[in-house]
C-alpha cells in the first residue's frame, strides 16, 4: 500500500488503503489531495493551500461552495425531517420542488420522478420509455444514442454512451447493444440517421441525447438545428425523445436555463441533476411530459411505473434544491454564464494556434482547450496544481466549468493556468504534430 506523504493528515494515511476512488488506477495514481473545507470558488487543503476550483465538483456547484441560503435551508430541514420514504408518503420539500420544476420547465414537462444520481435518473428515463410502450401494448426494447455521448456509469446507461471513444469500451459485448449514430448536424448525417430509423424505428423505445453540449464525451458543442432535426425524426417514427440535461441544465450553456428551452425543442422526457442542489446533496429528477405520464395512468396497478429508489426525494436534498432554485430565480446565473463565456473566449484565445492545440472554444460557463494528443496526463494535473487551480482534464480536453458565481479575478487565474499549461505542453509535446 502506498504511504501517505509526510504532511498528509492521519485520516488520509489510515483511509487511503480502503477508499476506492473513481476512474482511478489505485496502484499508480498519486495521493488524492486532502480537502478540509471549501468556500465560494476555493478548496482548502490540509496543508493550508487554497486552489481555485475550475471544475465546480463535476459541474454541480453553480452558486459556489457553502452558499449560506442553501446551508440554512438544509439545517432547517434537518431539525424537522431529514428523510422519509416516498412510498405512500409525501413531504413538503419534494412536493414543492416537483411543482417548481414543472413550472420552470417548458411545455407540459410536468411529472417529476426523483432519484439520487444522474445515472439513475437516465436509467429511469430509459425504463420509463420501455414501459411507456409496454403499457401501450408495443414491445420496443432498443435505444438510439450518439457518438460523443455520455449518460452515466450504470449498466444500461453505459450502453448508450459512445462505445468507441467513451470510458466503457471494455464493456462492449457485455452491456446490451444499442444503435449509435452521429448527431444529425448536417444533411448527410441527418440522411444517415433517417436510414437507420427507417430500418430500426419500430424497435426503438427512445432516442437519448445531451442537448447542445456533449460534456464528458469531450465538451463538444452542437446547434439548436441539430435538435430540431432530431425532434422531427423522432416524430416521424413515433419515438420518444429524451434530453439528458444533467450537465447543461441550470444555465450552464448561457443560452437559457435549460437547453430545451433555449433551443425551442421539447423532449418527451428530461433528466436533471448536478446543479439542481447546487452541489450540496445528491439528487436527480426524471421529468416526463403529459403524454408519457398518461400511458401509466390506468386502473391496472401493473401499469404503474415500476421503480422506487429508497432515498428518492430525500427531504434534505429537496430542501437544498428548493434553496438552489431560489438562487437561480433571484440571482442572474444566466447573465453570469454569459459573462464567463465572454471572458473565457477572450482569455483562452492565446492558446489557439499553439503547435498541437487542436481547438479553443467556449460556451456559457464552459471553456475548452483541446489538444491533439495526450503527452503526459500526470504532468498536466501536477502543473495545474502547482499553479493554484483545481482542473482535471478529460484526456486531451483541458477544460473549465467554474461555479457560475466566479469573479473576474479568479476566472483569470483559471484561464491563465490553462493557457500557461497549454503553452508548456505545446513546447514539450506539441511540436511535430
Ligand atoms: C450528461 C450526463 N448524464 C449523466 C451523468 C451521470 O451522472 P452521475 O455521475 O450523477 O451518475 C453525467 C455525469 O457526468 C452527465 O454529465
Please say whether the beta carbons of 226 and 183 come within 8 A: yes
| For the chain, counts of helices (H) and of strands (E) | 14, 16
What pLDDT score does 2 carry?
A: 35
Please report, for the domain that includes residue 371, its CATH number: 3.90.1150.10
Taking the C-alpha atoms of residue 405 and residue 424, their distance in angstroms, rounded to an integer, is: 29
- Ligand 1 nearest atom to the CA of residue 157, by list position: 4
Domain that holds residue 300: 68-330
Name the residue of 125, 211, 216 whose CB sits within 8 Å of the most ligand 1 atoms, as the mutation to test its pocket: 216
Please report, for the domain that includes residue 288, its CATH number: 3.40.640.10
In a domain, 186, yes or no: yes
Q: Based on the domain organization, do 157 and 42 belong to the same domain?
A: no
Q: Based on the domain organization, do 139 and 181 belong to the same domain?
A: yes
In a domain, 106, yes or no: yes
Please say whether the beta carbons of 244 and 209 come within 8 A: yes
Q: Which of 295, 330, 365 is the last residue of a domain?
A: 330
**Would the CB of 151 count as within 6 Å of ligand 1?**
yes
Grid cell for residue 235 = 416524430
The residue nearest atom 10 of ligand 1, judged by CA position, is 118
65 is annotated as an active-site residue: no
Q: Based on the domain organization, do 301 and 413 belong to the same domain?
A: no
Taking the C-alpha atoms of residue 339 and residue 398, their distance in angstroms, rounded to an integer, is: 20
In a domain, 376, yes or no: yes
Helix (H, G, I), strand (E, B) or coil at 191: helix
Q: Based on the domain organization, do 286 and 370 belong to the same domain?
A: no
Q: Based on the domain organization, do 282 and 393 belong to the same domain?
A: no
The rounded average pLDDT for each run of 10 residues, N- to C-terminus, in the chain (433 residues) is 59 95 93 97 97 98 98 98 97 98 98 98 98 97 97 96 84 90 98 97 97 97 98 97 98 98 98 98 98 98 96 98 98 98 98 97 98 92 97 96 98 98 95 63
Q: Which of 283, 304, 330 is the last residue of a domain?
A: 330
Q: Which residue has the cell 426503438?
A: 204
Taking the C-alpha atoms of residue 156 and residue 209, their distance in angstroms, rounded to an integer, is: 14
Q: Based on the domain organization, do 200 and 320 belong to the same domain?
A: yes
Please say whether the beta carbons of 115 and 312 come within 8 A: yes
Q: How many domains does the chain have?
A: 2
- Tell me the angle at which helices 333-348 and 408-425 cross, rounded to the nearest 10 degrees: 30
Grid cell for residue 291 = 403524454
What pLDDT score does 279 carry?
A: 97
Point out which residues pair with 360 in neighbouring strands.
369
Q: Based on the domain organization, do 245 and 349 belong to the same domain?
A: no
Q: Based on the domain organization, do 214 and 344 belong to the same domain?
A: no
Q: Taken in order 145, 151, 157, 158, is the CA torsion positive or negative?
A: positive
In a domain, 13, yes or no: no
In a domain, 395, yes or no: yes
Q: Based on the domain organization, do 114 and 200 belong to the same domain?
A: yes
Name the residue of 150, 155, 160, 219 whose CB sits within 8 Å of the most ligand 1 atoms, as the mutation to test its pocket: 150
What pLDDT score does 433 carry?
A: 52
399 is annotated as an active-site residue: no
Q: Based on the domain organization, do 82 and 48 belong to the same domain?
A: no
- Output the CA–CA distances (angstroms, integers) from residue 40 to 34, 47, 61, 404, in the order listed: 18, 19, 9, 10
Grid cell for residue 356 = 498541437
Q: Which of 330, 350, 376 is the last residue of a domain?
A: 330
Taking the C-alpha atoms of residue 248 and residue 62, their distance in angstroms, rounded to an integer, is: 12
- Ligand 1 nearest atom to the CA of residue 284, by list position: 10
What pLDDT score does 81 carry?
A: 98
Taking the C-alpha atoms of residue 5 and residue 12, their distance in angstroms, rounded to an integer, is: 10
Q: Based on the domain organization, do 227 and 326 belong to the same domain?
A: yes
In a domain, 12, yes or no: no
Q: Based on the domain organization, do 259 and 354 belong to the same domain?
A: no
23 is annotated as an active-site residue: yes
In a domain, 19, yes or no: no
In a domain, 5, yes or no: no
Amino acid at each position: 500500500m502506498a504511504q501517505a506523504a509526510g504532511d498528509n493528515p492521519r485520516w488520509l494515511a489510515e483511509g487511503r488503503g480502503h477508499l476506492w476512488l473513481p476512474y482511478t488506477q489505485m496502484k499508480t495514481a498519486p495521493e488524492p489531495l486532502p480537502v478540509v473545507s471549501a468556500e465560494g470558488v476555493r478548496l482548502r487543503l490540509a496543508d493550508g493551500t487554497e486552489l481555485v476550483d475550475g471544475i465546480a465538483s463535476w459541474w454541480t456547484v453553480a452558486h459556489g461552495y457553502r452558499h449560506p441560503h442553501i446551508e440554512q435551508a438544509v439545517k432547517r430541514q434537518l431539525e424537522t425531517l431529514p428523510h422519509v420514504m416516498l412510498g405512500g408518503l409525501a413531504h413538503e420539500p419534494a412536493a414543492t420542488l416537483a411543482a417548481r420544476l414543472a413550472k420552470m420547465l417548458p411545455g407540459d414537462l410536468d411529472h417529476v420522478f426523483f432519484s439520487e444520481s444522474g445515472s439513475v435518473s437516465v436509467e429511469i428515463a430509459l425504463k420509463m420509455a420501455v414501459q411507456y410502450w409496454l403499457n401501450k401494448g408495443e414491445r420496443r426494447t432498443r435505444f438510439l444514442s450518439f457518438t460523443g455521448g455520455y449518460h452515466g456509469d450504470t449498466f444500461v446507461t453505459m450502453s448508450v454512451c459512445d462505445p468507441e471513444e467513451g470510458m466503457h469500451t471494455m464493456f462492449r459485448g457485455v452491456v446490451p447493444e444499442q444503435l449509435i449514430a452521429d448527431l444529425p448536424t448536417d444533411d448527410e448525417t441527418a440522411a444517415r440517421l433517417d436510414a437507420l430509423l427507417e430500418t430500426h424505428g419500430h424497435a426503438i423505445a427512445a432516442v437519448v441525447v445531451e442537448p447542445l453540449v456533449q460534456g464528458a464525451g469531450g465538451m463538444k458543442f452542437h446547434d439548436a438545428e441539430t435538435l430540431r432535426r432530431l425532434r422531427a425524426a423522432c416524430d416521424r417514427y413515433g419515438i420518444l425523445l429524451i434530453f439528458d440535461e444533467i450537465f447543461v441544465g441550470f444555465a450552464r450553456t448561457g443560452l437559457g436555463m435549460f437547453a430545451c428551452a433555449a433551443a425551442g425543442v421539447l423532449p418527451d422526457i428530461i433528466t436533471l441533476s448536478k446543479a439542481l442542489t447546487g452541489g450540496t446533496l445528491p439528487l436527480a429528477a426524471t421529468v416526463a411530459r403529459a403524454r408519457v405520464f398518461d400511458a401509466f395512468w390506468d386502473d391496472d396497478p401493473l401499469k404503474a411505473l415500476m421503480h422506487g429508489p429508497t432515498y428518492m426525494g430525500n427531504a434534505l436534498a429537496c430542501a437544498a434544491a428548493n434553496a438552489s432554485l431560489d438562487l437561480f430565480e433571484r440571482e442572474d446565473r444566466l447573465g453570469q454564464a454569459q459573462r464567463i463565456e465572454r471572458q473565457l473566449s477572450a482569455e483562452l484565445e492565446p492558446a489557439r494556434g499553439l503547435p498541437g492545440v487542436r481547438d479553443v472554444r467556449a460556451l456559457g460557463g464552459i471553456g475548452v482547450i483541446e489538444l491533439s494528443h495526450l503527452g503526459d496526463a500526470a504532468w498536466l494535473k501536477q502543473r495545474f496544481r502547482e499553479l493554484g487551480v483545481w482542473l482535471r482534464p478529460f484526456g486531451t480536453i483541458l477544460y473549465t466549468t467554474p461555479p457560475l458565481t466566479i469573479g473576474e479575478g479568479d476566472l483569470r487565474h483559471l484561464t491563465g493556468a490553462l493557457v500557461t499549461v497549454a503553452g508548456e505542453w505545446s513546447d514539450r509535446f506539441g511540436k511535430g504534430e
